Copies of this chain bind each other. A is one copy, B any other.
Amino acid sequence: MPVNLNPPLADKLHAVDGVRLGVGEAGIRKANRRDLTLIELAPGSRVAGVFTQNRFCAAPVQICKQHLAAGNIRALVINTGIANAGTGEPGLQASRQTCQAVARLLDLRADQVLPFSTGVILEPLPVERLVAGLPACQGALKAEGWFEAAHAIMTTDTVAKAASARVTIAGQPVTITGIAKGAGMIKPNMATMLGFVATDADIAQPMLDRLVKEVADESFNCVTVDGDTSTNDSFVLIATGSGHARFATVDAPGWNELKAAVTDVARTLAQAIARDGEGATKFIEIAVSGARSREEAKAVGYAIAHSPLVKTAFFASDPNLGRILCAIGNAWGNDPALRDLDVAKIKVWLGSDKTEVLVSENGGRAASYQEADGAAAMQPAEITIRVDLGRGSASGKVWTCDFSYDYVKINADYRS
């Protein structure tokens, strides 16, 4: 039951010159499922990526990092069903074989291919079935393939996630289109499993490398569903250079506008993941200001977003707001700089676009607070928790969802 998240419309997803996508059925884990996606990039495309910080980082993530370092990426291949994580040396072999098979089909070197996997951890990737499924994907390659690809990379997602924009920057038209998947095991750290955003702008490699990190920090790295950073998180930014907009340095006219436009697409995808969080009935934005650093602000945001007690209270629409204070008080576990947090200076508001209720100040309940106002503020499907720490000028946001019976159901039943 995603929160205010509409399925993408095929005709609203703009093709990006230089990108073709094709999907197929490989029977990776179950039959009759589109579980394999091939993305082909035009010569001269530049690619940058950020990946999970999980120490059990998946085999395809390790291969991606190697191949990105070599440069000149021309294809991406994505399977669902099996994550190829916790698979040791055989897992690395399987990812290499996958790249070799794609390279043979498209007349590339294996290190020009980036592999991605998502699904169950600790089970071997059936690489023969994957390879057998590739020719169908190749046959289906088309510039308008984004819509089908957005569906083919889903696992426990209930809605496909895609976003697209056409903007004019420094007088040149720029197209940006992206897809993402993810609903559980979501607390990206550097990236999420999986986000792919492409633009036809021409962006110099050092700038693209920087851009992918900056965009991730403002989008995927602000989302959490359950606090579990996946083994396979990957966010990839593609600049095909097939359009006319060129960005060789940060002084290039329109660079900030481009960054804003790419961030906007990525943020829409990232928020879609929280809106479609497993079992979600509410979408929650946690906006923390008055911090000494952005890290502090996000540490407080994550402490609130990861508290099962806060999340279940939102599911119940119960203004049991002491749980939010409790979570804030524990945030120093995320950032030791918060050990000297003075709770007397903290203010907490609860609200939505229309109304905002001051819940707490001076270390306790606000004098003006009325239970009825709190109860009313808990009703909407989209709620903002605003926290002012009163100790600095930095701020940060975290997006999450509530914690429902269905979260337990989905995760107790997954695999079966």
Chain A residues 313-358 with CB under 8 Å of chain B are: 313, 315-316, 318, 320-323, 325-333, 338-339, 341, 343-344
- A412 touches which one: B85, B313, B365 (CB < 8 A)? B313
Docked-complex contact A88 and B363, CB < 8 angstroms: yes
- A403 touches which one: B86, B365, B408 (CB < 8 A)? B408
Name the B residues within 8 Å of A339 (CB-CB).
55
A343 to B57, CA, bound (A): 9
Name the B residues within 8 Å of A404 (CB-CB).
408
A315 to B409, CA, bound (A): 10
User: What 0/1 pattern do residues 210 to 233 of A give for CB contact below 8 A with B?
Assistant: 000000000000000011111100
Docked-complex contact B308 and A407, CB < 8 angstroms: yes
Stretch of A17-25, A115-123, A147-155, A196-204 contacting B (4+ beta carbons < 8 Å)? A115-123
Which B residue sits closest to A87, measured CB to CB?
B364
A362 at the B interface (CB under 8 A): yes
Docked-complex contact B325 and A121, CB < 8 angstroms: yes
Name the B residues within 8 Å of A122 (CB-CB).
321-322, 325, 359-360, 364-365
- A86 touches which one: B228, B230, B363 (CB < 8 A)? B363
A362 to B55, CA, bound (A): 13
CB distance from A172 to the nearest CB of B (A): 42
Docked-complex contact A413 and B326, CB < 8 angstroms: no
Docked-complex contact B364 and A325, CB < 8 angstroms: no
CB distance from A280 to the nearest CB of B (A): 13
Given A90-B364, A363-B88, the answer on whether A83 and B322 have CB atoms closer than 8 Å is: yes
A87 to B365, CA, bound (A): 6
User: What 0/1 pattern do residues 79 to 91 of A give for CB contact below 8 A with B?
Assistant: 0000101111111
CB distance from A369 to the nearest CB of B (A): 9
A360 to B407, CA, bound (A): 27
Name the B residues within 8 Å of A413 (CB-CB).
316
A333 to B334, CA, bound (A): 8
Name the B residues within 8 Å of A362 (CB-CB).
88-89
16 interchain pairs (CB within 8 A)?
Answer: A55-B338, A55-B343, A57-B329, A83-B322, A87-B365, A88-B363, A121-B323, A121-B325, A122-B321, A184-B309, A185-B323, A231-B325, A309-B411, A315-B408, A404-B408, A407-B408
Other A-B pairs, 17, CB within 8 Å; known A86-B360, A315-B412, A404-B408: A55-B331, A55-B332, A85-B322, A86-B364, A121-B323, A122-B365, A123-B322, A185-B323, A229-B326, A231-B325, A231-B326, A308-B411, A313-B412, A316-B412, A316-B413, A316-B416, A408-B408
